[in-house]
């Protein structure tokens, strides 16, 4: 373990640089910023397919069904539009704090639409052009990420090299900023017009289809399996154990893959179909809720040592809401080799259990709904619309988690208890 600690001490600066990389932080920040629309769309779908049949019937009778369907279409079903804007806006902000990035976000949205093929709606009397929703939702997420980052970086390059129209000092900032964004808009806009035309000559037909076929599907095959999720969980917890923010380092790499899988499930449910993806971001968040530290807090409530018993009493209420920092840093769990095994491996064991019981049908498949941090135990899983998922979370947190922590904590507790007795003597 000393050799491993020395290895991570040497590796820590590199990992911290990765965790603070502006592109990874932009991805994480942009994905998190879409949480509001995603939650709203998730709730709309949940109401439409609510397990108590009286609720969907009442919504239909009151005329809310088409409205809730539209809510889902323009939130979850239009996720790529929000992401492309946010990616460019946030990346520009990280390079140029004095620029709010809104102009770059608009240029990115415009560029995304330039490479999006139009469709036709044919009626008896007229043919109308329309924008298909195919690439606006989960299938266009990776396109949105790439276009947003590329546009944001190009915008920064153009502005930093002063390829802009500068107005006299007396001109109001609103007018000056509009003209400053004019050349970046034209240059980047023409670039994506050219890209759209070039992809029209390829077998893919458009940029979205190319990215979806060549990048998104293969990445999903690699990162969208339970084995990939297990690896991510182990790496995250291992980094956390050595004091490195594992979430910032690892999660941005897989969030686009897992979130797009959740969006596929939500779209399937909204269309009356069965969701096909067992895992996703919602699955990971619900199963590994609080890092399974609630089980440790429950054990501390009955500890022999005063140290752990007092910490358990202080930590129990926050832990019931998924806030486990008091026990993580109060124990502490970082570099605590007495509790290293459960801290690193408990999440993985819970993921395997959850996957198996879902695979064999004991627990319903997650609909992919996202929720806000801070909901209490059980309620956090309730947004998935299945009683079996709530029961699974309760069993994992209240039974499985304490059992996994018990042998390791018992030894640590006895060590602390003997130390206290020795000090009293």
Give the pLDDT band (50/70/90) at residue 213. very high
* Structure tokens that stand for 313 in this block: 């009493």
Q: Which of 206, 221, 236 is the last residue of a domain?
A: 221
Q: Which of 203, 221, 239 is the last residue of a domain?
A: 221
The per-residue pLDDT for 270 is 84
Are 186 and 235 within one domain? Answer: no
Are 207 and 251 within one domain? Answer: no
Are 358 and 415 within one domain? Answer: yes
| Domain count across the chain | 2
Q: Is residue 35 part of a domain?
A: no
Query: What is the pTM (predicted TM-score) of this model?
Result: 0.83
Which range is least confidently modeled, 59-63, 163-167, 240-244, 419-423?
163-167
Q: Is residue 200 part of a domain?
A: yes
pLDDT at 123 over 80: no
Are 178 and 231 within one domain? Answer: no
pLDDT tens digits, residue range 128-138? 777 888 899 88
Are 235 and 106 within one domain? Answer: no
The per-residue pLDDT for 144 is 95
Are 343 and 384 within one domain? Answer: yes
pLDDT at 115 over 80: yes
- Who wins on pLDDT, 286 or 385? 286
pLDDT at 405 over 90: yes
Q: Is residue 354 part of a domain?
A: yes
pLDDT at 4 over 70: no
pLDDT tens digits, residue range 278-320? 999 999 999 998 889 999 999 999 999 999 999 999 899 999 9
Q: Is residue 51 part of a domain?
A: no
Are 12 and 154 within one domain? Answer: no
CA-to-CA separations, 375 to 8, 76, 197, 297, in angstroms, rounded: 34, 21, 48, 18
Q: Is the dihedral of CA 201, 203, 208, 210 positive or negative?
A: negative
Exposure string (b/e) for 238-276, b if CB count within 10 Å is 16 or more? bbbbbebebebbbbbbbbbbbbbbbbbbbbbbbeeeebe
Neighbours of 290 (CB within 10 A): 22
The per-residue pLDDT for 1 is 55
The per-residue pLDDT for 422 is 84
Q: Which residues are CB-contacts of 48 (< 8 A; sequence separation ≥ 6)?
A: 56, 59, 65, 68, 69, 72, 270
Q: Is residue 42 part of a domain?
A: no
* Structure tokens that stand for 115 in this block: 């490479």
Q: Is residue 68 part of a domain?
A: no
Are 269 and 418 within one domain? Answer: yes
pLDDT at 75 over 60: yes
Give the pLDDT band (50/70/90) at residue 397. very high
Q: Is residue 186 part of a domain?
A: yes
pLDDT tens digits, residue range 178-209? 777 889 999 999 999 999 999 999 999 999 99
The per-residue pLDDT for 95 is 95
Are 410 and 276 within one domain? Answer: yes
The per-residue pLDDT for 366 is 94
**Alpha carbon 89 to chain centroid, angstroms:** 18
Are 117 and 174 within one domain? Answer: yes
Structural domain of residue 164, as residue ranges?
A: 75-221
pLDDT at 364 over 80: yes
Q: Is residue 39 part of a domain?
A: no
Which range is least confidently modeled, 38-52, 183-197, 224-238?
38-52
Are 255 and 273 within one domain? Answer: yes
Q: Which of 178, 194, 221 is the last residue of a domain?
A: 221
Are 213 and 112 within one domain? Answer: yes
Q: What is the mean pLDDT of the chain?
A: 88
């Amino acid at each position: 373990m000393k050799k491993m600690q020395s290895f991570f001490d040497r590796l820590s600066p590199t990992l911290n640089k990765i965790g603070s990389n502006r592109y990874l932080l932009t991805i994480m920040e942009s994905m998190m910023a879409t949480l509001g629309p995603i939650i709203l769309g998730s709730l709309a779908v949940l109401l439409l397919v609510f397990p108590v049949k009286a609720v969907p019937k009442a919504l239909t009778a009151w005329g809310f069904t088409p409205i809730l369907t539209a809510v889902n279409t323009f939130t979850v079903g239009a996720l790529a539009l929000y992401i492309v804007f946010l990616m460019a806006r946030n990346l520009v902000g990280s390079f140029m704090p004095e620029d709010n990035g809104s102009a770059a976000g608009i240029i990115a949205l415009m560029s995304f639409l330039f490479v999006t093929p139009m469709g036709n709606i044919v009626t008896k009397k007229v043919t109308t052009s329309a924008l298909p929703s195919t690439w606006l939702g989960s299938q266009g997420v990776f396109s949105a990420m790439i276009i947003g980052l590329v546009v944001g970086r190009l915008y920064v390059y153009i502005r930093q090299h002063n390829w802009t129209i500068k107005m006299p000092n007396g001109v109001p900032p609103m007018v000056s900023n509009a003209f400053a964004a004019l050349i970046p808009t034209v240059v980047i806009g023409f670039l994506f017009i050219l890209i759209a035309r070039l992809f029209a000559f390829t077998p893919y037909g458009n940029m979205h289809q190319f990215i979806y076929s060549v990048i998104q599907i293969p990445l999903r095959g690699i990162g969208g399996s339970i084995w990939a999720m297990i690896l991510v969980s182990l790496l995250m917890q291992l980094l956390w154990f050595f004091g490195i923010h594992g979430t910032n380092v690892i999660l941005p790499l897989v969030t686009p893959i897992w979130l797009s899988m959740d969006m596929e499930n939500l779209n399937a449910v909204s269309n009356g179909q069965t969701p096909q993806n067992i895992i996703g971001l919602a699955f990971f968040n619900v199963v590994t809720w609080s890092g399974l530290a609630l089980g440790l807090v429950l054990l501390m409530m009955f500890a022999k040592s005063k140290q752990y018993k007092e910490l358990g009493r202080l930590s129990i209420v926050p832990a019931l809401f998924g806030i486990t920092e008091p026990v993580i840093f109060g124990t502490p769990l970082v570099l605590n080799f007495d509790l290293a095994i459960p801290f690193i491996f408990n999440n993985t064991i819970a993921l395997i259990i959850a996957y198996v019981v879902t695979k064999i049908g004991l627990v319903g498949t997650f609909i992919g709904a996202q929720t806000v941090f801070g909901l209490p135990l059980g309620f956090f899983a309730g947004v998935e619309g299945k009683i079996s998922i709530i029961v699974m979370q309760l069993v994992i947190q209240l039974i499985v988690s304490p059992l996994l922590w018990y042998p390791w904590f018992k030894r640590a507790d006895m060590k602390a208890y003997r130390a206290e007795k020795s000090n009293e003597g």
